[in-house]
Amino acid sequence: MSDPVQSGSDDERVKSTSPLRKALLRPELGAIFGTMVVFAMFALLASDSGMFSAAGILNWSTVSAQFAIIAVGACLLMIAGEFDLSIGSMIGFAGMSIALLAVTFGWPMWAAILVTFGVCLAIGALNGFIVVKTGLPSFIVTLALLFILRGFTIFVPQTLERKTIIGGIREAAEGDWVASLFGGKILQPLFSWMGDNGWIEVYDRGINAGKPIVDGIPALVVWALVLIVFAHVLLTRTRFGNWIFASGGDARAASYVGVPVNRVKILMFVFTAFCATVLATCQVMEFGSAGADRGVLKEFEAIISVVIGGALLTGGYGSIIGAGLGALIFGVVQQGLFFAGVESSLFRVFLGLILLLAVVLNTYIRRLITGER
Amino acid sequence: MKSMFKALALTALVAVAPLASATVAQAEGEKYILVSHAPDSDSWWNTIKNGVALAGEQMGVEVEYRNPPTGDLGDMARIIDQAAASGPNGIITTLADYDVLSGPIRAAVDQGINVIIINSGSAEQAREVGAMMFVGQPEYDAGYAAGLRAKGDGVESFVCVNHVISNAAVAERCRGFADGLGIDLGESMIDVGQDPAEIKNRVMAYLSANPDVDAIITLGPTSADPTILALEENGMAGEIYFGTFDLGTEIVNAIKSGVIEWGIDQQPFLQAYLPVVIMTNYDRYGVLPGNNINSGPGFVTKDGLEMVEKYAGEYR
């Protein structure tokens, strides 16, 4: 938004808007309302089911953080006017790559992680390069990558190890500081102190008796927050952020005024691949194994989170805060339905209905405020 | 602004209404949650759902069935965490991948929740995570028994049609079968995916490329039903030696018509039904059987199909 040369109040060509209205003119407004509605709903339905106990909160925050990590990448890419359907396959591929390098080939864990990041960012760049060079819709190009990556993820471990789940990652990651960036937990002393004071539940048997059930904030959640802050600042406070909006809004006009549209798009594909690899690394560190079927359909979860957050599928409009809230809504609804005891076969029906409602509400609010049709 | 809030209030109401009616009425009794690793598309687990519902009804306890919609085991770990956080009396779960699931299961046990492992995993693993017992069919042994049987029938080579290539436990069946036959598994396991049309076409393609294969082994209704169709289409039905794991309506019909030699039933009904009964009695009277329970293998052949037929796909 550039400031008009004159102030709006004494220029009859500029419509005056109240400060309240100005504050509301944000893509994430719908997501903010949606978040409130969803929390109110589950406070009514699932208040006594443990959903808002420490363990329950950790549960839906972790799921939301998973969505948020990939939604941040997908959001920037979508604002830049492109899609990536290979996110889910990339998660499976990256996890498998770490497992094979570290366990099968016995590399040190930090090397396995760094090389995997290198390979995955290169694949992201390849995605972007093909899209930019051929002019094909990214929907098609990344759909091809979805199959190619998934195929390799199944084929390679089967050829090398005769199995599709490679374990033993936890042992290989022992004492590795790069690995602890993805699999560690923070604020553990704070949580044990809260447990000692009886503010959060503690285990009542086994080797962990007396320790809190929630013993820290997982790296996954920290990554989600860090990525949201980074991407939000990039998008709203830098020149590059304006380039992202411009590339997605009208690529031709943007390149006429000197925006390096192709470079922006390729970089956004790389960033999306980076986010998927972060999630994959966190997953294999937490679970100690990589499976060939990890991450199936995660690309749609990312896209849904972004759309709930108020971004347009056509590019040029959206917000990272919105995408983060969209991920939160999605995670809370998904796990909250379990807490509320919804029949498992109807689970997806409700999930779909609520997501649809969130998007409709979002669009409605946006139109109400911006006055667009 | 006013109309906006009205719209919001309405939306909230519309969203809540079906939810409120769908939540299970809180029963008086204990609450048990069964968590499986099956994607929504896997029909075999219907028997598990029915078994657990029946046990809940008979014992007067509340039961819930949960699964990760896409079969992603990472999602399953979160569901176990969620189940533990909602504070049930017991959790009944499969152990499809020890690395992924052992942490969440152990955490549930440490929170004072009883756990029984069913279907996947092993008795040793169940003991390691602190579960009460294991109810299931040791996969390798079942495959080995089937391999011995096939060897006795003169089989020398086979193809294993695997629709859950990422489930290591199920692949053990093929390994056991190969060892029972006394041959190397080698390249005889094919990954066919979950889609019936694709499975059918891949089986047909494999058989036309390898015409001298003696036997086909399928690992469940998901791969068996399309394989039956493939054999009917290429004229090998009844000619080629065909054995399958797990039962379903189509499989039972094929056993009857002689297309399938035998089906190995691991009796999933028992895997769902028994844990609920065992846990309820443990919670009420403190009694517990002293060992793991093998729900299978049981060979189902042409003889004695009547009961199986009646309940195929429902309780068998």
CATH code, domain with A86:
1.10.3470
Cβ distance A41 to B12 less than 8 Å, yes or no, reads yes
The closest alpha carbon to A50, from A338, A362, A355, A282, belongs to A338
- Please state, in angstroms and as integers, the Cα–Cα distance from residue A165 to each residue in A168, A174, A233, B98, B186, following that order: 10, 20, 38, 10, 18
d(CA B12, nearest CA chain A) in Å: 6
* Domains identified in chain A, total number: 1
User: What burial letters (b/e) apply to B98-134, b meaning 16+ CB within 10 Å?
Assistant: bbbbbbbbbbbbbbebbbbbbbbbbbebbeebbbbbb
Q: Taking 50 as the threshold, does the pLDDT of residue B25 lie above it?
A: no
Q: Is the CB of A21 inside 8 Å of chain B's CB atoms?
A: no
Cβ distance B78 to A58 less than 8 Å, yes or no, reads no
Q: Taking 60 as the threshold, does the pLDDT of residue B4 lie above it?
A: no
Residue B23 has a pLDDT of 41
Residue A256 has a pLDDT of 94
Q: Taking 80 as the threshold, does the pLDDT of residue B303 lie above it?
A: yes
Q: Taking 70 as the threshold, does the pLDDT of residue B17 lie above it?
A: no
Residue B93 has a pLDDT of 97
Q: How many CB atoms lie within 10 A of CB B182?
A: 10
Q: A146 vs A29, which has greater pLDDT?
A: A146
Residue B6 has a pLDDT of 55
d(CA A335, nearest CA chain B) in Å: 7
Cβ distance A163 to B168 less than 8 Å, yes or no, reads yes
Nearest to A287 among B22, B74, B171 (CB): B74
Per CATH, domain B2-137+267-296 is 3.40.50.2300: yes
B294 φψ region: left (φ > 0), alpha (ψ -120 to 50), beta (else): beta
Q: Which two tokens stand for residue A257?
A: 């005024």
Position A307 in a domain: yes
Q: Which domain holds residue A98?
A: 28-40+48-173+219-370
> For chain B, how long is the longest CA-to-CA vector?
80
Q: Taking 90 as the threshold, does the pLDDT of residue A231 lie above it?
A: yes
- pLDDT tens by residue, A147-184: 999 999 988 988 888 777 888 888 888 888 888 889 88
Q: Taking 60 as the threshold, does the pLDDT of residue B171 lie above it?
A: yes
Q: What are phi and psi of A217, to 5 degrees?
A: -95, 120
Position A195 in a domain: no
Q: Taking 60 as the threshold, does the pLDDT of residue B1 lie above it?
A: no
Residue A111 has a pLDDT of 95
Amino acid identity of A301? E
Question: How much of chain A, in percent, has pLDDT values that exceed 90?
Answer: 49
Position A236 in a domain: yes
**Residue A323: which pLDDT band, with cuts at 50, 70 and 90?**
very high
Q: Is the CB of A89 inside 8 Å of chain B's CB atoms?
A: no
Question: How much of chain A, in percent, has pLDDT values that exceed 70?
Answer: 94
Amino acid identity of A153? T
SS3 B161: strand
Position A289 in a domain: yes
- pLDDT tens by residue, B227-266: 999 998 888 888 999 999 988 888 988 999 999 999 998 8
> For chain A, how long is the longest CA-to-CA vector?
76
Position A187 in a domain: no
DSSP character for A7? -
Residue A150 has a pLDDT of 92
Residue A86 has a pLDDT of 95
Most confident segment among A271-280, A345-354, B264-273: A271-280
Q: A208 vs B129, which has greater pLDDT?
A: B129
Q: B239 vs A344, which has greater pLDDT?
A: B239
Position A149 in a domain: yes
Of A68-77, A217-226, B6-15, minimum mean pLDDT range: B6-15
Asked if domains B2-137+267-296 and B139-265 share a fold, the reply is: yes
Chains A, B: CB contacts within 8 A come to: 163
Amino acid identity of B101? L
Residue B284 has a pLDDT of 94
Amino acid identity of A324? G
- pLDDT tens by residue, B138-160: 889 899 999 999 999 999 999 99
Q: B309 vs A154, which has greater pLDDT?
A: A154
Q: Is the CB of A39 inside 8 Å of chain B's CB atoms?
A: no
Residue A9 has a pLDDT of 52
Cβ distance A205 to B98 less than 8 Å, yes or no, reads no
Report domain extents, chain B. 2-137+267-296, 139-265
CATH number for the segment(s) B139-265: 3.40.50.2300
Mean pLDDT of A255-284: 95
Dist. CA A302–CA A281, nearest whole Å: 17
